[in-house]
Each structure stands twice: as structure tokens, then as C-alpha cells.
């Protein structure tokens, strides 16, 4: 599939993408390669990535990487930098979903979800920052979700992990701005990428089944977007002189997220007298 985005002529970029074997990571890797950029494509299972090497030759470096292996993250980042001489765009996309009502969650499974989604992202960021700082800049994209903006019942460890990614990325953006390092939190809606089929679920407790069914019933298949349509958006952001801190992906998200924030503000205002009395 060919991806096209209108843009000014820019120098080719070197990308480092985790979780690139399928889904959005794979789509963005192909989009970058097809326009002439180079990509370090990493994934736990690189079998699906062999075709990229055949198609794009020396412009792609495929490496097996489990982001929960911190030493491996640093090693592959060093190798990538040694191969291409710089890293311009770093995409922390590796992650998976572990869901269930809070009471249902297995603590070890929840920790494992955080190990990948949060601490794997942290390891990647810490591995690339010295390189980006030394070269005078770069762009880090952390992949969150609408579940990182607004939680939902039975979202489990997954939504908690995405909230953590958002908070960490927001702090990072301020910390590295003076170093000319840009940060964008990517917040996709629903896409047909196979991500949902890979979701792990905690054993269900009957008491939460009505809530679970209500959540499933509220899902609108019409909101499932074409994952390929995200590629031009990502290319536009990485080419922007002043990219956004946050980027929603999907045409139905803005109104919903506006309502979420409006509800929070209303609650704070309704309880302002109590809140203000707690000052002194």
C-alpha cells in the first residue's frame, strides 16, 4: 500500500520504532520507508518484518526486541545509532492490553502489562535521550490511547498504563524542550489492526458482567477507522516545525474528549467551596 502526504521537501529521517511487526507500528514503518526515510523496525517476533528488508534493503534494520529487557533496548538503540549515525524519530509503540474490572485483575498480570507499556517505554526514552541531546534534537512519539485520556469500566491495567504513559510523556516534553527534543503523545481511537484480538482478559466475576455487557454494547463499529489513514497524520506530525504535544487519531474523538474534560471541570466547580476550604 502506498502512503502519500502533502508536505514540503524535507531531509530524509531515521526512525526507530518498537512494536513494528503489525498494526499501527507496521503501517508507520512502511509509510516512512516508502517516502525515502530509513527505519529501525523492532518487535518481539520479527518474522513478519522480513519482507521489509527485501523491499527496502539497507534503509531498514530489523531487530528482535522485547522492550521489557532493558539491556536489550539500550543495545539495539546503540546498534541503530551506529548503523545510521543518528536517530530523528523515535516511536514507542510496543504494548498490549490487559483488561478486567479492578477486583478481577491478577497482580502479576497487571505488573507485566506495566512492564511493557510503561517501563518498556521508559527504557526506550532513557536509551535514546543521550543520542538525541548530542545530535541537537529529535522527536519522541509515545503511543497512548483514548484510554489514556478517559478511563472506562473493565479497562483494567491497560487504561492505567496509558494514563501513566501520558503523564510521563507530558513531564518529559517540558524537561527536554530546551534540548530541542520534541515529544508527541499519539492517542488513537479504534482501528482494525488486530490489537483487540491480542487483548488479555482477567477471569470474569459474575457481579461485573452487567457492566461488561454495557461497555460492549456501547461500542459502535462505525467508529472503527482505517488504520492506513493514520500514516499521513503521523508523517505530518514528524515533519512539523512545532508538533503538538498530543495528537488524537480519529474523526469522532474530539467531541467525546471535550465532554470528558467538561465533566471534570463541572465537578471541580461544584465542589469548589469544599476544595477552597482545604487551603487553610
Catalytic hit among 38, 123, 144, 161: 144
> What is the maximal distance between C-alpha atoms in the chain?
67
Q: Give the C-alpha distances (Å, rounded to integers) separating 259 from 10, 119, 209, 254, 255.
A: 38, 30, 26, 9, 6
Catalytic hit among 3, 158, 191, 208: 158
Grid cell in block for residue 143: 503511543
Where along the chain do its domains lie?
14-249, 256-280
Residue where the block lists cell 526486541: 65
Distance CA 7, CA 221 (A): 32
130 Cα distance to chain centroid: 21
Catalytic residue list contains 144: yes
Report whether pLDDT(264) > 50.
yes
pLDDT over 90 percentage in the chain:
88
pLDDT at 196: 64
Catalytic hit among 13, 162, 182, 191: 162
User: Per-residue pLDDT averaged across 60-79, rounded?
Assistant: 98
User: Per-residue pLDDT averaged across 102-131, rounded?
Assistant: 98
Cβ contact 111:77 at 8 Å:
no
Q: Are strands 246-249 and 138-143 parallel, antiparallel or unpaired?
A: unpaired
Dihedral class, residue 14 (left if φ above 0, else alpha if ψ from -120 to 50, else beta) = beta
User: Per-residue pLDDT averaged across 155-169, rounded?
Assistant: 97
Grid cell in block for residue 250: 480519529
User: Per-residue pLDDT averaged across 216-237, rounded?
Assistant: 92
Cβ contact 98:113 at 8 Å:
yes
User: Per-residue pLDDT averaged across 247-267, rounded?
Assistant: 96
pLDDT at 2: 47
Q: What is the pLDDT of residues 172-192, one digit of tens each?
A: 999 999 999 999 999 999 998
Cβ contact 181:133 at 8 Å:
yes
Q: Give the C-alpha distances (Å, rounded to integers) separating 200 from 99, 196, 272.
A: 6, 9, 40
Q: Give the C-alpha distances (Å, rounded to integers) separating 249 from 33, 140, 143, 253.
A: 21, 17, 11, 8
**In the structure, what pLDDT confidence band is assigned to residue 10 with cuts at 50, 70 and 90?**
low
**What is the CATH number that goes with domain 14-249?**
3.40.50.720
Q: What is the pLDDT of residues 228-238, one digit of tens each?
A: 999 999 999 99
Catalytic residue list contains 162: yes
Amino acid at each position: 500500500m502506498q502512503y502519500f502526504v502533502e508536505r514540503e521537501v524535507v531531509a530524509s529521517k531515521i526512525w526507530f520504532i518498537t512494536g513494528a511487526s503489525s498494526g499501527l507500528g507496521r503501517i508507520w514503518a512502511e509509510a516512512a520507508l516508502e517516502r525515502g526515510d530509513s527505519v529501525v523496525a523492532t518487535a518481539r517476533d520479527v518474522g513478519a518484518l522480513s519482507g521489509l528488508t527485501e523491499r527496502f534493503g539497507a534503509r531498514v534494520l530489523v531487530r528482535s526486541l522485547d522492550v521489557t529487557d532493558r539491556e536489550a533496548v539500550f543495545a539495539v538503540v546503540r546498534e541503530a545509532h551506529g548503523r545510521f549515525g543518528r536517530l530523528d524519530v523515535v516511536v514507542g509503540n510496543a504494548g498490549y492490553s490487559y483488561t478486567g474490572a479492578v477486583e478481577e485483575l491478577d497482580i502479576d498480570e497487571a505488573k507485566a502489562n506495566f512492564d511493557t507499556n510503561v517501563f518498556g517505554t521508559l527504557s526506550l526514552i532513557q536509551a535514546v535521550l543521550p543520542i538525541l541531546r548530542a545530535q541537537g534534537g529529535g522527536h519522541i512519539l509515545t503511543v497512548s490511547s483514548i484510554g489514556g485520556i478517559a478511563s472506562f469500566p473493565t479497562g483494567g491495567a491497560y487504561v492505567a498504563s496509558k494514563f501513566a504513559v501520558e503523564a510521563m510523556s507530558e513531564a518529559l516534553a517540558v524537561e527536554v524542550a530546551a534540548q530541542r527534543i520534541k515529544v508527541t503523545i499519539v492517542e488513537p481511537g479504534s482501528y482494525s489492526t488486530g490489537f483487540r484480538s491480542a487483548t488479555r482478559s482477567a477471569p470474569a466475576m459474575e457481579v461485573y458482567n452487567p457492566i461488561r455487557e454495557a461497555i460492549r454494547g456501547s461500542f459502535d463499529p462505525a467508529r472503527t477507522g482505517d488504520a492506513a489513514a493514520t500514516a499521513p497524520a503521523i508523517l505530518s506530525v514528524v515533519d512539523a516545525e512545532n508538533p503538538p504535544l498530543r495528537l488524537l487519531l480519529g474523526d469522532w474523538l474530539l467531541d467525546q474528549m471535550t465532554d470528558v474534560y467538561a465533566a471534570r471541570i463541572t465537578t471541580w466547580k461544584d465542589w469548589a467551596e469544599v476544595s477552597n476550604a482545604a487551603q487553610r
